[in-house]
């Protein structure tokens, strides 16, 4: 039994469909429908299983089942030759009928485990799917957890055939969703892609975000409002409350839901001091960050045929957006490089800021995940198209040795620049090619 999880639109269902088609064995592919009654779901599964497994299915074609354990047990008994059973959108089945997990455990232990069958559970609720195999849950120690990740930046570069800087600029917009990346590759350039996609209400750039949010938060208006506020650029609790119109305990519940679903991440300043009171929130997925910032609010305008104006507005603001959106991507890239003697004994990378916002440091490296026992390096990210990282940038970075707790005169200084480096005194500088190579 395999539990397959991954973000919406990342290609999980398509991957499993192709696997089933190429397996050359009978397969039952069942996709749950949200808010449909459990009995209707059972009847639909029975119909598909009977059609696929007959004549081995025997009584499946005429029998009636009221519970999932009986239905799955009958399928297990009917399978004589190798077969695949797929339950797609499994979290929706559990939402409709919480007994499904226990029913599957019973059917697995008594019927399916010894049958020549591969059972695949698919879901986009990352937290729920991850929890399925935890200790104390019915499927604990019965299934292998597998993850379908979005395409990595390096894979996006291979598909769109662009240089490192252009690839990272594209990744900020499309993330790693295969259907969106495919359209970008056809367009030939990021600007051409945006001008075309933002004039088509049915383009993958537009509809993928709509489907993802509708699938995750179909009826939670508060969570959607808070997500839109964070996606619009608000990062701190007070500002999120003001922008979303959601406050108090309701805001805390919405933030908890968003972080539990791993749609939003909560960050605190990284240094030798605890920074929990200065937490910031950020949308985790690059594509969704872009979609919430520009696309979602512009859909009515695009549907009225004014997509050309939307595209121009986006292109004009894109350099500013890229300057901030590249930061989490760079931090992950540096984290992938660790441990590395260029960073001393650092094992983790974070950022540091003060409550008043007067001090912000893009990169801070230390030895521990929660707090740095000692700050090994400070770093700055300059994602400018023409201006290199210069002496003025370096002097500003060096001044932060006095601002970040745990840093000192001997703390290493590193930088990431899209357009090269000038000046002296930098411990190490990373260009776009080195950042991309981290994947």
- pLDDT tens-digit map of 138-159: 999 999 999 999 999 999 999 9
Structure confidence at residue 35 (pLDDT): 86
Residues 311 and 345 in one domain: no
Residues 210 and 84 in one domain: no
Structure confidence at residue 31 (pLDDT): 95
Can you tell me the mean pLDDT for 422-429?
Answer: 92
Judge whether 13 and 88 are in contact, CB under 8 Å: yes
Confidence at 216, pLDDT banded by 50, 70, 90: confident
Residues 385 and 399 in one domain: yes
Structure confidence at residue 121 (pLDDT): 97
DSSP 342: G
Judge whether 384 and 353 are in contact, CB under 8 Å: no
Residues 180 and 294 in one domain: yes
Structure confidence at residue 287 (pLDDT): 96
Residues 177 and 134 in one domain: no
Of the candidates 393, 379, 381, 383, the residue with the CA atom closest to the CA atom of residue 418: 383
Spatial CB neighbours of 27, under 8 Å, sequence gap ≥ 6: 20, 52, 83, 84, 85, 86
Of the candidates 92, 152, 112, 120, the residue with the CA atom closest to the CA atom of residue 19: 120
Task: Specify which residues 352 forms β-bridges with.
Answer: 361
Structure confidence at residue 409 (pLDDT): 94
Confidence at 57, pLDDT banded by 50, 70, 90: low
C-alpha distance from residue 236 to each of 42, 245, 261, 265, 290 (Å): 45, 14, 19, 12, 19
Query: Both tokens of residue 437?
Result: 């190579």
Burial of 283 (0-12, 13-18, 19+ CB in 10 A): buried
Query: Both tokens of residue 366?
Result: 């230390």
Residues 277 and 362 in one domain: no
Judge whether 78 and 107 are in contact, CB under 8 Å: no
- Domain end among 147, 170, 190: 147
Residues 52 and 84 in one domain: yes
Residues 216 and 257 in one domain: yes
The span from the CA of 328 to the CA of 416, in Å, is: 12
- Domain end among 295, 326, 357: 326
- CATH number at 129 reads 3.40.50.300
The span from the CA of 115 to the CA of 19, in Å, is: 20
The span from the CA of 65 to the CA of 60, in Å, is: 9
Judge whether 34 and 167 are in contact, CB under 8 Å: no
Judge whether 68 and 106 are in contact, CB under 8 Å: no
Instruction: Please state the domain count of the chain.
Output: 3
Confidence at 215, pLDDT banded by 50, 70, 90: confident
Residues 275 and 169 in one domain: yes
Residues 402 and 342 in one domain: yes
Judge whether 274 and 371 are in contact, CB under 8 Å: yes
Domain span at 53: 2-147
Residues 428 and 332 in one domain: yes
C-alpha distance from residue 85 to each of 46, 125, 164, 261, 361 (Å): 12, 20, 41, 26, 50
Can you tell me the mean pLDDT for 367-379?
Answer: 92
The span from the CA of 181 to the CA of 155, in Å, is: 10
Spatial CB neighbours of 312, under 8 Å, sequence gap ≥ 6: none
- CATH number at 222 reads 1.10.10
The span from the CA of 435 to the CA of 439, in Å, is: 8
Spatial CB neighbours of 369, under 8 Å, sequence gap ≥ 6: 347, 348
Residues 322 and 332 in one domain: no
Residue percentage of the chain with pLDDT more than 70:
97
Of the candidates 350, 326, 312, the residue with the CA atom closest to the CA atom of residue 153: 326
The span from the CA of 366 to the CA of 299, in Å, is: 43
Tell me which residue has tokens 């964070």.
230
Task: Specify which residues 417 forms β-bridges with.
Answer: 382
Helix (H) or strand (E) holding 362: strand 360-366
The span from the CA of 439 to the CA of 429, in Å, is: 18
- Domain end among 290, 310, 326: 326
Instruction: Write the pLDDT tens digit of every residue in 96-136.
Output: 899 999 999 999 999 999 999 999 999 988 888 888 888 88
- Mean pLDDT of all residues belonging to the chain: 92
The span from the CA of 254 to the CA of 384, in Å, is: 35
Q: Out of 32-46, 48-62, 65-79, which region has the weakest mean confidence (pLDDT)?
A: 48-62
């Amino acid at each position: 039994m395999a539990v397959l999880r991954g973000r919406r639109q990342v290609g999980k269902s398509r991957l499993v469909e192709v696997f089933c088609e190429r397996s050359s064995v009978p397969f039952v592919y069942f996709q749950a429908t949200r808010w449909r009654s459990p009995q209707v779901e059972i009847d639909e599964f029975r119909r598909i299983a009977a059609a696929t497994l007959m004549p081995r299915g025997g009584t499946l074609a005429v029998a009636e089942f009221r519970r999932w354990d009986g239905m799955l047990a009958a399928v297990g008994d009917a399978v004589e030759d190798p077969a695949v059973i797929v339950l797609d959108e499994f979290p929706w089945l559990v939402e409709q009928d919480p007994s499904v997990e226990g029913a599957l455990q019973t059917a697995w232990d008594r019927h399916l485990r010894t049958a020549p069958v591969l059972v695949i559970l698919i879901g986009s609720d990352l937290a729920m799917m991850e929890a399925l195999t935890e200790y104390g849950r019915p499927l604990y120690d019965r299934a292998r957890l597998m993850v379908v990740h979005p395409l990595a930046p390096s894979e996006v570069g291979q598909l769109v055939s662009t240089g490192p800087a252009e690839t990272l600029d594209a990744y900020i917009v499309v993330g790693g969703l295969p259907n969106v990346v495919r359209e970008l590759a056809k367009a030939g350039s990021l600007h051409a892609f945006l001008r075309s996609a933002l004039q088509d209400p049915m383009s993958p750039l537009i509809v993928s975000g709509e489907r993802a949010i509708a699938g995750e938060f179909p009826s939670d208006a508060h969570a959607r409002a808070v997500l839109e506020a964070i996606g619009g650029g608000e990062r701190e609790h007070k500002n999120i409350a003001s922008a979303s119109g959601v406050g108090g305990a309701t805001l805390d519940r919405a933030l908890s839901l968003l972080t539990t679903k791993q749609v939003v991440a909560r960050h605190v300043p990284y240094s030798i001091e605890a920074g929990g009171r200065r937490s910031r929130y950020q949308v985790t997925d690059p594509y969704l960050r872009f979609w919430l910032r520009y696309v979602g609010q512009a859909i009515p305008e695009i549907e009225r045929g004014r997509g050309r104006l939307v595209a121009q507005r986006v292109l004009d603001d894109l350099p500013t957006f890229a300057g901030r959106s590249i930061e989490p991507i760079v931090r992950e890239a540096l984290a992938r490089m660790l441990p590395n003697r260029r960073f001393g004994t650092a094992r983790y990378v974070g950022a540091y800021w003060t409550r008043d916002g007067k001090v912000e440091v893009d990169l801070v490296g230390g030895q521990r995940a929660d707090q740095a026992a000692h700050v090994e390096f400070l770093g700055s990210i300059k994602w400018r198209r023409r201006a290199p990282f210069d002496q003025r940038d370096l002097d500003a970075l060096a001044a932060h040795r006095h601002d970040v707790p745990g840093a000192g005169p001997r703390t290493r200084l590193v930088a990431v620049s899209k357009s090269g480096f000038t000046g002296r005194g930098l411990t190490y500088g990373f260009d776009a090619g080195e950042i991309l190579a981290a994947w």
